[in-house]
Each structure stands twice: as C-alpha cells, then as structure tokens.
A and B are shown apart, each in its own frame.
Chain A
Amino acid sequence: MSIIKTGAYIVSSYSVVGTLEGKGPLGGKFDYADGTDDTFGKKSWEASESEMQRVAAVGAMHKAGVAPSDVGAVFSGDLINQCIASTHGLMGLGIPDVGLFGACSTCAESILLASIYSSFVKDISMAVTSSHNCSAERQFRFPVEYAALRTPTSQWTVTGAAAFMVSSEKTECAVRVADGMFGRIIDSKTDDLNNMGAAMAPAAADTLLRYFDESGTSPADYDRIVTGDLGREGSSLLCEFMTAAGYDLYQRHGDCGLDIYDIEASDVHSGGSGCGCSAAVISAKYLDMIRKGTVRNMLFVGTGALMNAMSVGQGNTIPAIAHLVRFTS
C-alpha cells in the first residue's frame, strides 16, 4: 500500500511573494507581497529568499497563535545548493529542522511529511518551502543580467514562499490532510532544460494513476486536481496522458504555475515554476477555497524536475518526481 493515511490538519498558512507575483491574478490573496523589487531588503538574492522563508514561518506561527517552542519540527526546503535558503531563513527560530530536497515538488513532500509527523507524534509541526527567481536563475541558468533568450516552453521561477502549520488537532477553519502518496522517480528521457513541463508530466501521471488505482477512485470523485508547476506545456501533456489512460482530467485540472501569472500579459512563457510557486498558490488560493467550502475534496500533486547544471552538462536526462497530498474540508 502506497497511500499513507494521516490524521492531521493545516491550521494556518502564510504566503509571501515577490513584486511580479503580487501584481498577478492572485495578487490580493497573498499574505505578503514584496515592494522592494524582490530584494526583501537584503544584499544578495540568496539572503532575500531566506528572508521570505523567515517571514512565512513567523507569519504562519502568528496566525495560529503558536510560539517557535511549541513547534515539534519544521520540514523545509528550497532550490538553492544544499538547501541554504531554508537553513539561513529558519536557523534563528530554534525549531528542530528536517531539510528536504524534492526540487519543485518539495512543497507537497514537506506537507505530507509534516502531516505524517504530526499524526504520529500528536504534535504541531510546520512545512516551509520557497523559491526566488533571481537565486534560481543564478543557480540553474545564467547571471541575472545576462541576456539569455527563452523559448516558448520555458518557465519562470516564481519568487514566493509559504509556511503551513500542521497539527493533529482540528481547529475551526482547519483543512484536513486526509492522505497522500510519495512519487517514484520517473525518467521521461527528455533533456530540454527549457521544457520542464514535458519532463514532469509523466511523473505527475504516474503518481495520479497509482493513486486512482489503489484508492479505486477516479477524477470525478474530486472537486479539483491541482498540479504544482507543469505550466501550459506540461499541463497539456498530462491531460493527454490521463485521457489515454481512460481518465478525463480536463474538467478538474488546475496548475499553480498557470494560476499565479497572467500568462498572456507577462513574459513568463509556459507559466510559473519553483517550489515557492505551488506553496504560495496552494496557501493563497486552494486552501482558501476549501475553508470557504467551494472545494471539499482535492488532490494536490507537487511536481519536481530532478537535475542540476552538472547533471545536465554531463549529458544526463531530466528525471522527475511527483508527490500527492489530498486535502479535504
């Protein structure tokens, strides 16, 4: 059995985004939007990302009325080498830390792990993830001011972060993390750095098919099925995959990478990406819909492309992974 049943609740969440994201379609819904051209008042982009993690974590604790000493563990991750953004962002809080890397799937991975922890230990835990456009550009592509040209399938790393407070005890507006499933590493044999959607779509399909198979459910059983950051290209490929497997996803599918920007009006090509993308959108949009009752049962599939500049330089393909979490009201 791969489906893990948890008995935990997200009791609060706090999202932090950059300037471009704050001006996007979800602009008013984020808890904090930066007005300092994404620097967050810091001298390096890496420090800016750490600051986003700190603000998100403190914000979520504040909303839940919880002190750092009440939190049993924080499951954190980002895209920078050795998870340095979460390290520097969270080290001042003194909470036991579990550093995670699942590329852009880290948001789903950390929520699932925090829920497993909280239901097992009967304690409060937290999941925090972030990405920053400029630190990710530096890490994965080119210097920020370098005029690298983008192709239509390329995605735009979201400057965003979110923290989720997870508890074994239900509160008034809590969202239930009903169950979840960890993904398998799927090698789609693609190698185009500018087409992450194509690399990740097979992983999302694999996890969804395994989940439907084991749970005996179908897309019709869910109000929404939301992927992390497949973008326009990956979303279209995923829906084709699922149709070929006999599941109609078109009616219910949403993608955080498509939600966060006005795709036509901004120069983001295939959509947003990064673990801050799904974190901020899940927090600001979908958890809000569940709290308001417009969505009662949804699947969140966080997708991640597992690569770095070295692995691609050495001629490797880009494997991907997708972790699934089910939220209910």
Chain B
Amino acid sequence: MTEEYKKYTVRHAPKSPVVKDTLRAFLCGGALCAAAEGLKNLYLFAMMSRDDASLITSVTLVFLAVLTTGLGVFDSAARFAGAGLLVPITGFANAVAAPAIDSKTEGYVLGVGAKIFTVAGPVILYGTVSGALYGAIYYLWRIFS
C-alpha cells in the first residue's frame, strides 16, 4: 500500500454537496443573526446599555442552544443547518452542554466537571492565549508610541 491509494480513496469518495450545504449554512446562520439583532433591539428598548443588550442577547442564544441540546433536537437541527448553527455562539453552547449531559454517568467531578470542556476548552484556551498575546503587543505599543 502506498500514498497513491490514499489519494485514490479521496478521489473515489463522494463529495459533500458543498453548494447545498453552504446555502443552508448561509440562510440559517443569517436568519439566526437577524433574529439576534431583533432580540438585541428588544433589550435596547428595555433600557439596557448597548454592551449589556449585546451580552444578554448572547446569553439568550446560549440558553436556547443548551435547552434544545438537552431536548435532543439541536443535533438534528445542526444536521440541516451545518455551520449555520455551529459558528454562532449556539455552536459553542452545544459544545458545552452535550458533553456535560453525556458524561453524567461518570460522576459530577471527573465526568461532567472535566468533560464539559472537551470541545469548549480549546476555544477558551486559545481565546485567552491569543488575547494575552495581543495584550502584550498592545501594551508595548502603548509604551513606545
């Protein structure tokens, strides 16, 4: 067996329907963001500050994503919407809730406690590290400019 076979299997395999998938992701992701915009305006109307309205909008989406994950419908919806549900904050919330629910049979400390970070951990880690890296650059730039 050589590398040739690996290349052949890639050519041989049916391709994901990229146009259909992308269109669905665009429409679903766009609709979700437009709905979130509406939600934000609602919160602004309720006299929240701009930052708070934005945050509470995210929290609302997180809540809905966790709820639908628990009810077992998020994965079905994501199979249709693809990245349209995974890239918005709903995908992050699903990545937190799914392993939490899944690992409760292994206990609440090393089961839920540890595995809740299976997919979310990398996002938090690299968000923090890249934030710190940016902060170091920004700090130096402030000193020297």
Contact = CB atoms under 8 A, between A and B. Distances in A.
B96 to A, nearest CB: 10
Contacts of A237: 9, 12
Given A188-B1, A188-B5, A145 B12 contact: no
Contact of B119 (A142, A189, A191): A142
Contacts of B69: 145
A147 B74 CA distance: 7
Interface in A164-201: 186-192, 195, 198
B2 interface: yes
Contacts of A192: 9-10
B16 to A, nearest CB: 6
Given A142-B119, A145-B69, A152 B13 contact: yes
Nearest to B83: A149
A149 B83 CA distance: 9
A143 interface: yes
B13 A191 contact: no
B99 A198 contact: no
B78 A145 contact: no
B105 interface: yes
A151 B82 CA distance: 11
A147 B9 contact: no
Given A188-B1, A202-B5, A147 B75 contact: yes
A233 B13 contact: yes
A208 to B, nearest CB: 16
Interface string B44-81: 00000000000000000000000001101011011100
A145 B100 CA distance: 10
A249 B16 CA distance: 28
A189 to B, nearest CB: 5
B74 A198 contact: no
B115 to A, nearest CB: 7
B15 interface: yes
Contact of B13 (A143, A146, A195): A195
Interface residues of A, number: 30
B64 to A, nearest CB: 14
A138 interface: yes
B121 to A, nearest CB: 13
Contact of B14 (A46, A144, A145, A152): A152
Interface in B67-111: 69-70, 72, 74-75, 77-79, 82, 85-86, 91, 94-95, 97-99, 101-103, 105
Question: Chain B binding site: helix, strand, loop or mixed by DSSP?
Answer: helix
A145 B119 contact: no
Contact of B6 (A46, A138, A188, A236): A188
A82 B143 CA distance: 58
A149 B79 contact: yes
Contact of B5 (A43, A44, A190): A190
Interface string A232-261: 010011000000000000000000000000
Q: Most chain-B CB neighbours within 10 Å: which of A187, A188, A191?
A: A188
A186 B2 CA distance: 11
A302 to B, nearest CB: 20
A153 B118 contact: no
B1 A189 contact: yes
Interface of A: 43-46, 138, 142-147, 149-153, 186-192, 195, 198, 202, 233, 236-237, 267
8 contacts: A143-B98, A146-B95, A149-B82, A152-B13, A152-B15, A186-B1, A189-B2, A267-B79
Given A45-B105, A145-B69, A145-B75, 16 more contacts: A138-B102, A144-B98, A145-B98, A145-B102, A146-B95, A146-B119, A147-B85, A147-B91, A189-B2, A189-B6, A190-B9, A195-B13, A202-B1, A233-B12, A237-B9, A267-B79
Closest 6 pairs between A and B when the two form their complex, measured CB to CB: A147-B78, A143-B102, A198-B9, A146-B98, A44-B105, A145-B98
